[in-house]
Amino acid sequence: MDDRETALALFEKYDRVALPVTDSEGNMLGMVTVDDMLDVAQSEATEDIQKIGGSEALDAPYMQVGLFDMIRKRGGWLSALFLGEMLTATAMTFFEGEIARAVVLALFVPLIISSGGNSGSQAASLIIRALALRELKLRDWFSVFRREFISGLALGFILGVIGFFRIVLWQHLHLTNYGAHYLLLASTVWASLIGVVMFGTLAGSMLPFILRRLGFDPAASSAPFVATLVDVTGLCIYFSVALLILRGTLL
């Protein structure tokens, strides 16, 4: 009566080529072999990949899934993500005054939120796979948190430096005029990227642990879901940093 994932874990742990199948009284009913488990491993990996991509598992080869079922399995997640992205519009509305006074800030919104979403997706994919391979357990969450916190800071700093010099270079080459306070704008982008990328990395790495703790499949914390969460938070971080750095200049 064990789940097939349990059998797969036993094959991986003990390097067996076959395992007996017994009833509750220990009577042997048959056996499963390693070639059976290869099919199971492929099926489980396919299911996780499809969930990470932001849809329900298809449970059949792509061309054998009916069009209606395909739309139903993908539409639910897309609708949920769309509703989540509405919070992004709400956040933009909240900072509407700042955007109106410094339109140049809006130019870097895609840069900021996409960087946070990408870092979150990276972290989520790595942690989900590590949990699936049993490289990580729930008790390892703090070690992962500490590791991803440092990684997020470093990655955000790298991207921030790139963004800073991009603004300065474009200004000096006269490709774009960011105004007299372009250095403050560049500093805003730099600081925002550090905060947004760090948050994205932490959100992407911790969400699988939270879902596993609640009894859900960690693969359900798909990269698009993490990206949606980081989009909203990233906007708040970006405009909050802008208010601190640019107050009295552009704002």
Question: Which has more confidence, 228 or 158?
Answer: 158
Q: Closest Cα to residue 109, out of 188, 178, 176?
A: 188
CA distances from 192 to 118, 167, 224, 240, 250 (A): 15, 14, 21, 9, 16
Over residues 122-134, the mean pLDDT reads 86
Q: How far is the C-alpha of 197 from the C-alpha of 157, rounded, in Å? A: 9
Q: How far is the C-alpha of 178 from the C-alpha of 90, rounded, in Å? A: 26
Q: Which residues contact 144 (CB under 8 A, 6 or more apart)?
A: 127, 136, 205, 206, 209
Answer whether residue 221 shows pLDDT above 70.
no
Residue 124: burial class (beta carbons within 10 Å; 0-12, 13-18, 19+): buried
Residue 60: burial class (beta carbons within 10 Å; 0-12, 13-18, 19+): exposed
pLDDT at 241: 93
Answer whether residue 222 shows pLDDT above 80.
no
Residue 58: burial class (beta carbons within 10 Å; 0-12, 13-18, 19+): middle
* Structure tokens, 94: 């909240």
CATH of the structural domain 83-246, one choice from 1.10.357.20, 2.30.40.10, 3.40.50.300, 1.10.357.10: 1.10.357.20
Q: Closest Cα to residue 185, out of 112, 90, 234?
A: 112
Return the CATH fold of 4-52.
CBS-domain (3.10.580)
Over residues 37-55, the mean pLDDT reads 76
* Structure tokens, 36: 């059976």
Question: Which has more confidence, 86 or 232?
Answer: 232
pLDDT at 226: 80
* Structure tokens, 229: 């969460």
Give the model confidence (pLDDT) of 163-203 as tens digits: 999 999 999 998 888 888 889 999 999 999 999 999 999 99
**Range with lowest mean pLDDT among 54-58, 91-95, 120-124, 210-214:** 54-58
What does the mean pLDDT of the chain come to?
85
Number of neighbours of residue 156 by Cβ within 10 angstroms: 25
Give the model confidence (pLDDT) of 64-116 as tens digits: 888 888 888 778 777 777 777 777 777 777 777 777 777 888 889 888 988 98
pLDDT at 3: 80
Alpha helices in the chain (DSSP H): 4-14, 34-52, 67-94, 96-101, 109-132, 141-172, 182-213, 223-246
**Range with lowest mean pLDDT among 8-12, 166-170, 187-191, 209-213:** 8-12
pLDDT at 183: 92
In the chain, where the domains are located: 4-52, 83-246
pLDDT at 70: 82
Q: Are 148 and 123 in contact (CB under 8 A)?
A: yes
